[in-house]
């Protein structure tokens, strides 16, 4: 049986604050579009979503290094070179880009 998100946070990071710090460390400008509510911040995001965001950002950083490289890989996989398509992809959040890359490759 799969562990609950709270149990997974405690096992892997120790506390939610440590998980938030790890996500913030990965969420640099080259990997993440900051669309977080400034009043609430990442501290109010659920453990499940934070774990998913951490795994996505880790995978993208290891495989591509930046969002731009991920977008370039998507364009190459779909054999699309038009700038309008690339501009549309640049507005997408990183988890959506990662899921789309996995589906097209």
> pLDDT by residue (tens digit) across 20-70?
999 999 988 888 887 777 778 888 999 999 999 999 999 999 999 999 999
Quick one: pLDDT at residue 96?
95
Quick one: pLDDT at residue 41?
83
CA distance 43 to 57: 17
Quick one: pLDDT at residue 34?
77
Three-class DSSP labels, 40-98: CCHHHCCHHHHHHHHHHHHHHHHHCCCHHHHHHHHHHHHCCCCHHHHHHHHCCCHHHHH
Domain ranges of the chain: 5-104
Binned at pLDDT 50, 70 and 90, residue 100 comes out as very high
């Amino acid at each position: 049986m799969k562990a609950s998100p709270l149990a997974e946070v405690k096992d892997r990071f120790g506390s939610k604050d440590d998980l938030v710090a790890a996500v913030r460390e990965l969420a640099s400008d080259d990997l993440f579009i900051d669309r977080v509510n400034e009043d609430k911040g990442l501290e109010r995001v659920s453990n499940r979503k934070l774990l998913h965001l951490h795994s996505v950002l880790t995978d993208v950083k290891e495989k591509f290094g930046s969002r731009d490289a991920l977008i370039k890989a998507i364009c190459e996989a779909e054999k699309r070179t038009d700038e309008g398509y690339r501009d549309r992809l640049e507005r997408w959040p990183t988890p959506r880009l990662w899921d789309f890359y996995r589906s097209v490759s």
